[in-house]
Amino acid sequence: MLLRSLERMYRHDATSGILLMLFTLIALYTANSALAPYYQDMLGATGTVTINGVGIEKPIILWINDGLMAVFFFLIGLELKKELLEGKLKHIRDVILPGAAAIGGMALPAAIFAYFNWNSPETLNGWAIPAATDIAFALGVLALVGTRAPAALKVFLLTLAILDDIGAILIIALFYTAKLDVTYLLLGTIPLAIMFVLNRLKIHRIAPIILLGIVLWVLVLKSGVHATLAGVVTAFFVPLYDRWGKSPLHSLEHALTPYVYFFIVPVFALANAGVVFDGLSIADLANPLPMGIILGLFAGKLAGVFGMTWLMVRLGAARLPHEVNWYHIFGVAGLAGIGFTMSLFIGGLSFGDPGLMNQVRVGVLAGSTMSGMVGFTALMLASRQRNTKAVAAE
């Protein structure tokens, strides 16, 4: 009975989001308690992997952000390939409405952030922080609404979040790349070429591709391009189907998902969500950096997603999904403002200064919390309206 209950909890969409909230609270408590020095020492401790004196030396927090998060992006890459070849992104007609919503939900938050930080070159580099959506958190909050939300609404939100991830990956690749070392990039074409051949041969065993992906990760890290992108690239070389008709991609995605959402993402939250409240005041929220993030996530995502959806429907370019009304769209637009994981990740790429990163954490936590509350409330009101109409019709 206990095992069955645990399995149901594990399979529930809300579980990963609740776990993420729990680890966020643990990080906040630890960073502001007597344990804070140990917390900071742990994250700053150096981990080294060397062979004959040549290797990689990084603090633990960067092993998490560059290493473990590469696995997170690897899973995103697997999901993107699956959706592009046989899922929600296969047919262009299914992408038009959530695609337009995703564009509006990235462009407007970035513009709002830039407006507040235009005269601050030190912080303007963080313009992409409020442009991201956290899939786990957003789907987790939607799952709390339960069956009262139409099934098509989850598909809309999931497609929106996937397209949002594509945009975030492109932004990281184009705008958050350090000084390039062309030699390492050229060396990276060797594992790429081998993975291409293995994919064309439709191999069943994926261990060779994983090992080549690790080599690619090291070379990309050394090149100056952010190493997590190696995870996305490697995923696209995992065969969707092998020569016997089985799916290595599906099997790997299924096996990897619990490790990512029940270990890697919570560990990332534990390492990155530790806002230090000492010395902070309500007035500090008005600083350009946190204010740009808060309004970008809360107002920018809400207006961008809802506005572009309304415009596409108004122009006749698309229709609302089955049984979905404008209250539902408003609620989803709110959930899209839960940036958290991706926003904190991009914040880490933008700023190395601990003081600025603390402001980023404050902005991301405040903006994501406000967005989640508004999104959840709107969806609950939408479900009540839907139920009232259903009763009236009877």
Instruction: Summarize pLDDT for 110-165 with one digit per residue, the tens.
Output: 999 999 999 988 899 999 999 988 877 787 788 777 777 787 888 888 888 888 88
Which tens digits make up the pLDDT trace of 213-238?
A: 999 999 988 887 778 888 889 999 99
Place 335 in a pLDDT band, splitting at 50, 70 and 90.
Answer: very high
Q: What confidence score (pLDDT) does residue 354 get?
A: 87
Which tens digits make up the pLDDT trace of 183-204?
A: 888 999 999 999 999 999 998 8
> Could you tell me if residue 393 is inside a domain?
no
Q: What confidence score (pLDDT) does residue 106 get?
A: 95
Which tens digits make up the pLDDT trace of 69-126?
A: 889 889 988 988 888 888 777 878 878 999 999 999 999 999 999 999 999 888 999 9
> Could you tell me if residue 21 is inside a domain?
no
Per the listing, tokens 């709107």 go with 378
For residue 181, the enclosing domain spans 59-388
Residue 388 has pLDDT above 60, yes or no: no
> Could you tell me if residue 129 is inside a domain?
yes
Q: What confidence score (pLDDT) does residue 11 get?
A: 58
> Could you tell me if residue 6 is inside a domain?
no
The per-residue pLDDT of the chain, averaged, comes to: 86
Residue 329 has pLDDT above 50, yes or no: yes
Place 374 in a pLDDT band, splitting at 50, 70 and 90.
Answer: very high
User: How far is residue 284's CA from residue 289's CA, in Å, rounded to a whole number?
Assistant: 10
> Could you tell me if residue 22 is inside a domain?
no
Q: What confidence score (pLDDT) does residue 223 get?
A: 84
> Could you tell me if residue 9 is inside a domain?
no
Are 122 and 58 a contacting pair, CB within 8 Å? no
Residue 389 has pLDDT above 60, yes or no: no
Residue 391 has pLDDT above 50, yes or no: no
Who wins on pLDDT, 12 or 143? Answer: 143
Who wins on pLDDT, 146 or 312? Answer: 312
Q: What is the DSSP pairing of strand 46-51 with strand 54-59? A: antiparallel
Residue 26 has pLDDT above 60, yes or no: yes
> Could you tell me if residue 24 is inside a domain?
no
User: How far is residue 151's CA from residue 248's CA, in Å, rounded to a whole number?
Assistant: 28
- Give the total number of structural domains in the chain: 1
AA letter at 278: D
Place 390 in a pLDDT band, splitting at 50, 70 and 90.
Answer: very low
Q: What CATH number is associated with residue 90? A: 1.20.1530.10
Q: What confidence score (pLDDT) does residue 8 get?
A: 57
Contacts for 42-49: CB closer than 8 Å, 24+ residues apart: 43/271
Q: What confidence score (pLDDT) does residue 2 get?
A: 44
Report the percent of the chain where pLDDT is more than 70: 92
Q: Which is it for the CA torsion 105, 107, 110, 112, positive or negative?
A: negative
> Could you tell me if residue 155 is inside a domain?
yes
Which tens digits make up the pLDDT trace of 245-293?
A: 899 999 999 999 889 888 998 898 898 888 888 877 787 788 999 999 9
Best CA proximity match to 340, nearest among 277, 266, 262: 266
Residue 323 has pLDDT above 70, yes or no: yes
Place 3 in a pLDDT band, splitting at 50, 70 and 90.
Answer: very low
User: How far is residue 308's CA from residue 156's CA, in Å, rounded to a whole number?
Assistant: 14
Residue 61 has pLDDT above 90, yes or no: no
CA angle (256 as vertex; 261, 75 as ends), nearest 5? 80
